[in-house]
Amino acid sequence: MKIWLTLIAFSLSVGLAQESGCISCHIELDEDLDDHEKIVDNYLGGVHAKNNLDCSDCHGGDPEAFDDEDEAMWDAESFRSDLTKIDQLEMCGSCHSNPNVMKQYTASIKTDQVDQYETSHHGIALENGNEKAATCTDCHGVHGILEIDHPKAPVYPFNIPITCSNCHSDESYMAHTDLPTDQYKKYESSVHGIALFENEDVGAPTCNDCHGNHGAAPPDIVHVKDICGTCHINNQDLFQTSHLQSMLLSEGFGQCEACHGNHDIAKPNDDMLDWSEGALCYDCHADGGNAKDMSNHFYSVITNLNSDIELATSMVHDAENKGMIVDELLFDLEEAHKVLIHTRTNIHSFNIDFVDSNAIAGFEAAQAAVTGAQQSLDEFDFRRKGLFYFSLIITFTVIVLGLKIKVMK
């Protein structure tokens, strides 16, 4: 292993214009200094090594001094063995905030990370002297930093919740703040967490999709709808036009969040509208009134459509199981189901007429599927009846033929 690493290091060092005097020593230092072999290994797999950046580009020192330890490190003015968090920002920013440097590597790369960071809660905390606040390396890793779209990068979508939870789920680490530490646990079982972890949907929102990344901060209540609306655009559009938005804001509720929660957003189900304790509207509108009527109305539209679709589906499947071809009915079912999904979205308008008028197409499609399935089932009966009469004719003819043969003898 070591030999190979040395060889790689050597060949790389040739490639690095003979700058890697650091590696040739540090790779041998495992006995005295823990993990140096691993550090070198990590570094070699990272994006910085690939772009010919050497240890000294971050740690300073003189790599050309090779065996002379003092000259290479301790005597060199630029040498830094450990970097403070503030140092890190400055050091990473010295390249990453400089468009002239960065565009040499990736022409379209962003260079606003440090600026954004300074607006984040992490950045503000650090500025206020909180050394626990996360900086660049806490999220991106240290020596073996990978490109952000590398599946093994800590900031790749699947890995982000784990990366954030390294600090945010650690009760003792977070003790100095009043922030909760159950976000990861909640997220994991939420509709978004399931989409990300179980369905492996890279498009599913993870921590940074709501909180931002370099500018990480909780969204304020006025803008919750915009954040959710990044993906749930129809819900946002409808909600914005409803009377409910201003009401929630005036009461200090976080709009979408008021009903759906935040980290533990559950997959919505129709029973959330069923007027009883635990139903979404009931919590605030326990006194009934308009809210009760509306909730009941929405509930009945959705459950009626749903049961129509269920009836149609079972009839279509019945016909299918009887060997009938029902391809076209499946399209009707799909259409009805699509309208059902739209209806569930449409209730965010909190407008009964709007919801009703848009649900009609779904009822029609479900009805078309029922009619079609009934035709198929009728056809099935027709086949059996036809067979019955056909068998009758044949049986009759065979009997007569039998008699005829008997008489012929």
DSSP H helices in 82-135: 85-96, 99-105, 113-119, 121-127
Taking alpha carbons only, the member of 257, 262, 337 closest to residue 302 is 337
The answer to whether residue 4 forms part of the interface with other proteins (CB under 8 A) is: no
> What's the distance, Cα to Cα, between the start and end of the chain in Å?
101
Nearest CB to other proteins, comparing residues 43 and 239: 239
Q: Which stretch binds other proteins (CB under 8 A): 89-97, 120-128, 170-178, 225-233?
A: 225-233
The answer to whether residue 234 forms part of the interface with other proteins (CB under 8 A) is: yes
- What CA–CA distance (Å, rounded) separates 64 from 1? 25
Residue whose pair of structure tokens reads 């009966």 in the numeric block = 381
- Residue 340 tokens, joined: 């059902």
For the segment 318-377, give every residue that binds other proteins (CB under 8 A). 323-325, 327, 331, 338, 341
Nearest CB to other proteins, comparing residues 360 and 398: 398
Name which position in 109, 162, 233, 286 contacts other proteins (CB under 8 A). 233
**Total binding residues for other proteins by CB under 8 A?**
38
Nearest CB to other proteins, comparing residues 113 and 206: 206
367 to 386: interface string for other proteins, x by CB under 8 A: ----------------xx-x
The answer to whether residue 405 forms part of the interface with other proteins (CB under 8 A) is: yes
Nearest CB to other proteins, comparing residues 60 and 212: 212
The answer to whether residue 52 forms part of the interface with other proteins (CB under 8 A) is: no
* Residues 6+ positions from 71 with CB-CB distance below 8 Å: 62, 65
- What CA–CA distance (Å, rounded) separates 98 from 110? 9
Residue 314 CB neighbour total at 10 angstroms:
12
The answer to whether residue 201 forms part of the interface with other proteins (CB under 8 A) is: yes
The answer to whether 301 touches 321, Cβ cutoff 8 Å, is no
Task: Give the dihedral sign, CA 398/402/403/408.
Answer: positive
Min CB(272)–other proteins separation in Å:
19
Min CB(110)–other proteins separation in Å:
16
The answer to whether residue 179 forms part of the interface with other proteins (CB under 8 A) is: no
List phi, psi (to 5°) of 176: -75, -10
State how far Cα 144 lies from the chain centre: 25
Name which position in 86, 162, 202, 247 contacts other proteins (CB under 8 A). 202
Count Cβ atoms within 10 A of the Cβ of residue 183 and give its class: 0-12 exposed, 13-18 middle, 19 or more buried.
buried
Q: Which stretch binds other proteins (CB under 8 A): 32-40, 167-175, 252-260, 398-406?
A: 398-406
- What CA–CA distance (Å, rounded) separates 123 from 113? 11
Nearest CB to other proteins, comparing residues 57 and 209: 209
Q: Which residues bind other proteins (CB under 8 A)?
A: 201-204, 229-234, 323-325, 327, 331, 338, 341, 383-384, 386-387, 389-391, 393-398, 400-405, 407-408
